[in-house]
Amino acid sequence: MESISEPYVIHYPRIVAVVEEGSSHVELVEFFDCVGGAMWSQHHYVQSPLVESVRCIGGTMRYLLRPGSVDLHLEGSRFPAGISGVALDENEISISYIGMGGGGVGVTACRETAKGVLRSRSDESGGGRVAGSTIWLPHRSRVLIGVDDTDTPDKGATWTLVHNIARAVEDDLSVYLSHTIVQLYPVPYRTKNCVSIVAEFASTDTDRLINRFHHLLERYTLSEKTGMAVFQGFTPPKALIDFGWKVKTGEIGPGLLDSLKVENLDIIMNGRGVIGAVAALPFFTKYEEALELCDGRT
């Protein structure tokens, strides 16, 4: 006869936090196994004063949080659970949750065993109890890796190579968060579809991540014109966003990239594809904008 070892617990696979420079914001990224539970949390947690926005990206829920501590006035069905505390020190972030009933189970037993959690403290939960918990996470930096021009007219596809490299280099230090295909202006010398790729990571060892990714890209690219660019930062600056849109809306020369001055932007492979690689960076997780074709045709 079949049995279930933990009939009232659904474990979150992983939880990570990306910290903004100056610690004014934290992006909490919760990988989920149960889509219904994640959507329920999104619906209710956004009511917390500490939550500025929530987005569902693939198999993750992303909460943009500001540091602070609040008393949440929970109410069954209307506001049964939420995030009540966000605190940072030099190396760690603590996230405090509180919930009632099943929401209390979600904020305690379901999250405390997730990968990425350094330690946790939780109340007993279940039934009609109100329960709270705190989890501690390491500071992570956002790393965006843009790649273009790895294939030839006969072989390859950049989007598949980037995803497979990202999976290969992912570990507990550098968590692979997202993959975005960016449609560029269809220049005459494109392979076929004229897209570039940006892969997003949350990392505690950015140099190791970039070096490993670069090594595999050099090993497996089929092109001598491959471009690889890296931006490290919480949010891409306006100059990088403007550059991305220029590459999406028309053909540009290398001089525009040479004049681009963006802090924390590094060119790793400087083949012709570097223009598309840099242009992809600001479109991470902005899928509708990234895929928009701006060729002037209707």
Q: What is the mean pLDDT of residues 162-180?
A: 98
What pLDDT shows up at residue 116?
Answer: 98
What pLDDT shows up at residue 190?
Answer: 52
Please answer whether residues 57 and 285 qualify as being in contact, where contact means their C-beta atoms are separated by less than 8 angstroms: yes
160 dihedral zone (left: phi>0; alpha: psi -120 to 50; beta): alpha
Q: For 12-35, what is each residue's pLDDT tens digit? A: 999 999 999 887 999 999 999 999
Which residues fall within 8 angstroms of residue 274, CB to CB, at 6 or more apart? 148, 227, 228, 229, 257, 267
Q: Give the pairing of strands 141-148 and 195-203.
A: antiparallel
User: Is the pLDDT confidence value at 298 over 70?
Assistant: no
Please answer whether residues 201 and 142 qualify as being in contact, where contact means their C-beta atoms are separated by less than 8 angstroms: yes
Please answer whether residues 54 and 123 qualify as being in contact, where contact means their C-beta atoms are separated by less than 8 angstroms: no
What pLDDT shows up at residue 192?
Answer: 62
pTM of the model: 0.95
44, with CB counted inside 10 A (0-12, 13-18, 19+), is buried
User: Is the pLDDT confidence value at 153 over 90?
Assistant: no
Q: For 66-90, what is each residue's pLDDT tens digit? A: 999 999 999 999 999 999 999 999 8
Q: How far is CA 196 from CA 84, 147, 184, 202, 229, in A?
A: 40, 6, 7, 21, 11
What pLDDT shows up at residue 254?
Answer: 78
Q: For 188-240, what is each residue's pLDDT tens digit? A: 655 566 899 999 999 999 999 999 999 999 999 999 999 999 999 999 999 99
Enter the tokens of residue 22.
């100056």
User: Is the pLDDT confidence value at 52 over 80?
Assistant: yes
**Which one has a higher pLDDT value, 47 or 156?**
47
DSSP symbol at 2:
-
Q: What is the mean pLDDT of residues 246-267?
A: 91
Q: What is the mean pLDDT of residues 139-162?
A: 94
DSSP symbol at 250:
S
Q: How far is CA 88 from CA 12, 96, 114, in A?
A: 22, 12, 19
Please answer whether residues 228 and 275 qualify as being in contact, where contact means their C-beta atoms are separated by less than 8 angstroms: no
User: Is the pLDDT confidence value at 278 over 60?
Assistant: yes
| Helical spans, DSSP H, in the chain | 35-45, 102-107, 158-169, 206-220, 238-249, 254-258, 274-280, 287-291
What domains can be seen in the chain, in order of their start residue? 14-138 (no CATH), 141-291 (3.30.70.2200)
- Name residue 153's amino acid: P
Q: For 86-130, what is each residue's pLDDT tens digit? A: 999 989 999 999 999 999 999 999 999 999 999 999 998 888 889
Q: Give the pairing of strands 68-69 and 227-232.
A: unpaired
What's the mean per-residue pLDDT of the chain? 94
What pLDDT shows up at residue 295?
Answer: 74
Sequential DSSP letters for 68-122: EE-----BTTTB-EEEEEEEE-SSEEEEEEEEETHHHHHHTTTTTTSBT--EEEE
Q: Return the half-sphere exposure (C-beta side, CA atoms, 13 A cut-off) of residue 275.
A: 22
